[in-house]
Amino acid sequence: MTVDIDTLNKKIVQESVFVSRLLSEISNIIVGQKYVLERMLIGLFSNGHILLEGLPGLAKTLAIKSLASAIKADYKRIQFTPDLLPADIVGTLMYNPQSGSFSVKKGPVFTNIVLADEINRAPAKTQSALLEAMQEKQVTIGETTYELPDPFLVMATQNPIEQEGAYPLPEAQIDRFMLKLKVSYPTKEEEKIILERMTQSSPKINSVITLDDAQRVKDLIKQIYVDDKVKNYIVDIVFASRSPEKYNLKELKNLIAYGASPRATINLTLAAKAYAFLQGRGYVIPEDIKTIGRDVLRHRILITYAAEVDSLTSDDVIDKIFGGVEVP
């Protein structure tokens, strides 16, 4: 199928005009964090769930709530605790003694954007309650399956420093997150703006787009062109994480316990398309892959104990992979 790149590019430029307005509106509350805000939009427009990792007080929750307000989306927050039950997330059947019948009480997962706050504070049994919802966009209560709203997006936060009372997420669930973001401290100048803004009356978020607009953007992003050379580049990056010796990266053989799954190939492509849209382009370039590569791969490439001894992280390994795989 022939793709008219020029026509598609002009269309993307026109349709992506709202991006700067949307980021600007959210920035009325969130200071800095452009990296986080852009990745949140990538997740929204790619149907990809996001895991945010950062220290307390870095506005992770506020950023998610602000995005929901800016796109007129329904939003629910679930505070994960050790005593949280799966039924508290997806819902349950309620017995009515008067009628002798059961009725369905849907849980907070039935919304557009779910904030799973401090997800690693709940045990695996509760965390897994999100698995069907995240992967299948549906929930089964009793013998009936219910479709979730569209769009449906899970944004989970976790604290990286507390070990007591925390339950690491199972690898199967981590792999269902499209992106894993690391939220860092603000700069000194940003900290001063936060001080001035948050000690006065808090500004409000005005909606910039609607859910219908978001759906139109999602459909448009699917049309963004990815050349075969770029597709091969994506596949090479993923395969280099599994068999680094085949890409002249023998030094990584003992540093990688498990390489990236096929979901990494899919999500690298989808995230690159969404990132190209945010840049006002109708096609993906290798630089897009490099830009979002860490966020897609850092939770999918598991490093060995030998790498930890050398004080290496999965980000370090990813950088070596991108440095060793030939760019088209």
Q: Please check whether residue 68 is in contact with residue 113, taking contact to mean a CB–CB distance below 8 angstroms.
A: yes
pLDDT digits (tens, 9 = 90+) for 96-151: 787 777 778 888 888 888 888 888 888 878 887 787 788 888 888 878 888 888 88
Q: Which two tokens stand for residue 131?
A: 């698995």
pLDDT of residue 314: 87
Q: Is this structure's pTM higher than 0.75?
A: yes
Question: Domains in the chain and their CATH numbers?
Answer: 31-198 (3.40.50.300), 221-324 (1.10.8.80)
- Give, in order, the Cα–Cα distances in Å from 283 to each of 23, 24, 127, 288: 22, 25, 37, 10
pLDDT digits (tens, 9 = 90+) for 197-241: 666 666 677 777 788 888 888 888 888 888 899 999 999 999 999
Pairing of strands 113-117, 75-79: parallel
Residues in the chain: 328
